A and B are shown apart, each in its own frame.
Chain A
């Protein structure tokens, strides 16, 4: 079955970076892109960006442009999201989700990133 398993809780200081992983199994990783989303405490869902399976091309939210990088490792079927220059308002649960047509059919369990000053 399709599984997306994310790395664990991260507690970070403002100004530092975090890299969240999303290890996949049960489907052809090379055939699907990966989307990253986040959800601040008690808030709704925010799309962060997408990395395509085609040449690993990326599209990022302009809100995060310059601070976020999404990558894929086809040797381990793992996707990564790195966010730099962390601020307190980056505190959120971060999700990876499979989807190439704009909707997301399988999700990771979420990774809490807490940023303190």
Chain B
């Protein structure tokens, strides 16, 4: 199975900050990388698919980049509603696998 490793596991940030989350795949996954946001007690919400494509309805302060094995999720101008856990997920090869998550909380 392809292993997905996110860093950091958690971070503290303030409203208005720029936040970056890294995701590394154990093998080349091309551009088959997606990002989700999950808030406590809720289902995950798709933010970005295929590295950099913003899902409909997702604010433009979210962006993604990378290719191959290394990927980044960037949140520009962090908003109060962005405090959540973020997961990367590879869709190159079944079983599709997720990173362990990055929790973004309030500094």
Contacts and interface: CB of A to CB of B under 8 A. Distances in A.
B46 A105 contact: yes
B100 A44 contact: yes
Contact of A44 (B87, B92, B94): B87
Tell me whether chain B's interface is mostly helix, strand or loop, or mixed.
loop
Interface in B60-99: 87, 89, 91-92, 94-99
Q: How large is the interface on B (under 10, 10 to 19, 20 to 34, 35 or more residues)?
A: 20 to 34
A61 B91 contact: no
Interface residues of A, number: 21
Interface of A: 35, 44-47, 50, 59, 61-63, 95, 97, 101-105, 107-110
Interface of B: 32, 34, 36, 43-46, 49-50, 55, 87, 89, 91-92, 94-101
